[in-house]
Structure 1
Amino acid sequence: MSRVLITGASGLVGGHLLRLLNEEPRIGEIIAPSRKPLTPMDKMFNPHDPQLTDALAQVTGPVDTVFCCLGTTRREAGTKEAFVHADFTLVVDTGLTGLRLGATHMLVVSAMGANAHSPFFYNRVKGEMEEALRAQGWPRLTIARPSMLLGERNKNRFNESLLAPLFGLLPGKWKSIQARDVALAMLHEALMDNAPGVTILDSAELRARARTGA
């Protein structure tokens, strides 16, 4: 895995993952399309455009692996349409770009409870996104479904701040997880020579892989 593509690198999980990728000696180049310029890093090429799809279109060289850490909330997006664009359309566009560039493995951050048939809008969109990526026919697809993410955000999410102590007490896959652990687990999974197919990692499995890859 020498050349990788990552979207969502300015977010909570994506920021950790970008730094880990930059430190990983097996990574030769990081292509990180974004809406706004990112802080420069040694291995990073950062095409940027207010329309992320246009930034993705600037990527022309081959890549081996794709990471997608895009994600927002209904409140942050402002409208249902904006949320769908961020958490479905741009994720699907990331996958299509990776396939166009020859990638064989995509790793994506989804959410616990993702289900295309869910009565809850957030979970339904996440589930529909997962189904769309499956339909792209990836040789290898890894879906991370973390519970509540912990870590320092540029902008606090009130509901998460309120519920974080409760989620910290829950068992197994329901227990909250540090964003850096999700990033560590994704990198570890990408570096492993595992069998093709779809792998779904909940919070408990993400923590276990993070410990292995740390």
Structure 2
Amino acid sequence: MTTKPNEQSIVMLGASGAVGTAALNSLLSLKNIQQLTLLGRNPIPNVNADFVKQYKINIHEPKSYLDYLPGHRSAICTLGVGEPSKISKEEFIKIDKTAVLNFAIACKNAGVKHFELLASVGIHAESRFFYLRAKGELVEALKDLNFDRLSIFQPSMILTPTNRYGLSQAITLKVWPYLNPLLIGGLRKYRGIPVDVLGQAMANNIFNNGKGYEILQWDQFYSVTKKRN
């Protein structure tokens, strides 16, 4: 597959989740995509664009997707456990860290230049909180791969139109939007972000020029979105 200079070829892992779905919907509405390859445990229904290819893979077995990576310029990874508290730490690491890192390594070896990752605000390799530390360690490992461009998206509360995880999320989704105006200055990065805005930012950012390592938080989500509106 040969990509023209003004076109993008993108491989995506995790397009079935809330953010992944939002990013996918945005990508499907954009121009200049030569090919969009979706990798997942199950095909995503009702995706009929001619430039989309889907492959069923085992996220824990890189050999199951290695042949589908060459020729892509960019990769988007939104793979992750929706509710980490519902599974063991070992299973969380297996999905959110090991599977993601293996995918990134395979992408790098296949010639992918730009890698985007959905992470979280507050991540740090030395955090005392398990979830934030694991994500921080993952990002440090990704930096060591030396992609031409590495984009780390760090949302705080992701505001979805429906409650997916029970009473605690229902309360959070109801209350968080009212907190946004109180989060100013250095606290702006903790503002809740609508899932559609986050997905659009991940899609749009693929088409922006950039080099090296970049962190995108609340303000950047909106600025990236506005650039293509």
Calculate the TM-score normalised by the size of structure 2.
0.85
TM superposition shift of 1:157: 4.8
Task: Look up the match of 2:84.
Answer: 74
Pairing partner for 2:194 from 178, 185, 199: 178
* Residue 4 (structure 2) aligns with: none
Tell me whether 1:41 sits opposite 2:51 in the alignment: no
Q: Which residue of 1 aligns with 2:216?
A: 201
Q: 1:166 to 1:138 in 2, by over 3 A?
A: same
Deviation at 1:18, TM superposition (A): 1.2
Amino acid corresponding to residue 209 of structure 2 in structure 1: D
1:120 alignment partner in structure 2: 129
Task: Report percent identity of matched pairs.
Answer: 24
Q: Deviations over 1:147-175 (max 9, x none)?
A: 11011468335433222344321322111
**3-state secondary structure, aligned to 1:112:** coil
Separation of aligned partners in 2, 1:139 and 1:93: 18
Moved over 4 A (4+): none
Q: Which amino acid aligns with 2:198?
A: V
**Distance in 1 between residues matched to 2:84 and 2:206, nearest whole Å:** 30
SS at match of 1:46: strand
- Segments of structure 2 that go 5 or more residues without pairing to the other structure are 1-6
For residues 137 and 15 of structure 1, the distance between their equivalents in structure 2, rounded to whole angstroms, comes to 28
Higher Cα radius of gyration: 2
SS at the partner of 2:55? coil
Name 1:149's counterpart in structure 2.
158
Give the match for residue 167 of structure 1: 176
The answer to whether the Cα contact below 8 Å between 1:35 and 1:48 also exists between their aligned partners in 2 is: yes
Task: Tell me the C-alpha RMSD between the 2 structures.
Answer: 1.9
**C-alpha displacement of 1:94:** 1.9
**Which segments of 5 or more consecutive residues in structure 1 lack a partner in the other structure?**
none
Q: Find the aligned partners of 2:48 and 2:85 in 1 and give their Cα distance.
A: 31
Whether the 8 Å contact between 1:151 and 1:179 is mirrored in structure 2 is yes
Q: 2:59·2:99 contact (CA, 8 Å) conserved in 1?
A: no
Alpha carbons of 1:45 and 1:53: their partners in 2 closer, same or farther (altered >3 Å)? farther
The amino acid of 2:57's aligned partner reads D
